[in-house]
Amino acid sequence: MVVLVSFMKSLTLPLLSTLMLNLPVAHADVTVYAAASLTDVMGELNAMYETKYRTKVKASYASSGTLAKQIEQGGKADVFISADVAWMTYLNRKNLISPTNTTHLLGNRLVIISPAKNPIKVTMSQNFNIAGSFTGKLCTGNTASVPVGKYAKEALTHMTWWQSIKPRLVETEDVRVALNFVARGECPLGIVYATDAISTQAVKTVATFPTNSHTPIIYPAGLVRPNNSNAKRFYQFLQSDDAKAVFKKHGFTPLK
């Protein structure tokens, strides 16, 4: 009996070892901090990545400034995707981003939206009286810290609309909050990204700002220091053809 047990062990252990070698290996988690406007597209990409690489992706979405401040204060992010270059530069200057692993990942457009059931007509002209075209408030991100709000202020200034509309602004913590205000009909107008506007049927794009009316909308992606091989692989995945196809489907313009 002892001889038989020993013989069975001699067969079983190599077999188990072979099976374990052939099993896919789960890798360490990757934590991504991404601008709020990337919520939908990154949800899809994260699921793709998890399936392909058996790696759990933890995502946090907020305004780029909020996320940058969290990273500065020790937030455990592996990858940061900002909705503007300024916040990536801010972290770069503090030596928190790998300088050799940053890229201009995506582009976007700036639009004016209105509730789909009761849209306001807006003409993209410096002669247009936007303040007189509606009653109520115009929603966008905080014009001092949230990228969409900063772009909006530049565009409104370029169109000579800033002074007349400034007293009626509702400045939100991120672009998705502004989008939801308009979707619920609480703001008759809002300024968001084109990709946010197409994410819900509750709003309608009523005007698109000229690209020369504001700083180019660029989404940089970067590896947060210190980083590991799993984080770098995710960063490279964002620049793959598969990822580009998903970005395009959601209305973004891949820049790489």
**Binding site residues, as ranges?**
37, 64, 175, 193
- Short-list 194, 201, 202, 156, CA closest to 175: 194
Cα angle, residue 223 at apex, residues 194 and 195 outer, rounded to 5° = 5
Annotated binding-site positions for molybdate: 37, 64, 175, 193
Q: Do 164 and 131 form a contact (C-beta atoms < 8 A)?
A: yes
Structure tokens at 28: 């360490």
| Cβ atoms 37, 83 nearer than 8 A | yes
Q: Give the integer Cα–Cα distance in Å for 96 and 226.
A: 8
Which residue in this structure is represented by tokens 């197409």? Answer: 198
Question: Cα 51 to chain center, whole Å?
Answer: 21
Q: How far is CA 206 from CA 6, 11, 115, 141, in A?
A: 78, 72, 10, 18
By the 10 Å C-beta count (0-12 exposed, 13-18 middle, 19+ buried), 175 is classed as buried
Cα separation, 162 vs 135, in Å, equals 16
Q: What are phi and psi of 140, to 5 degrees?
A: -160, 180
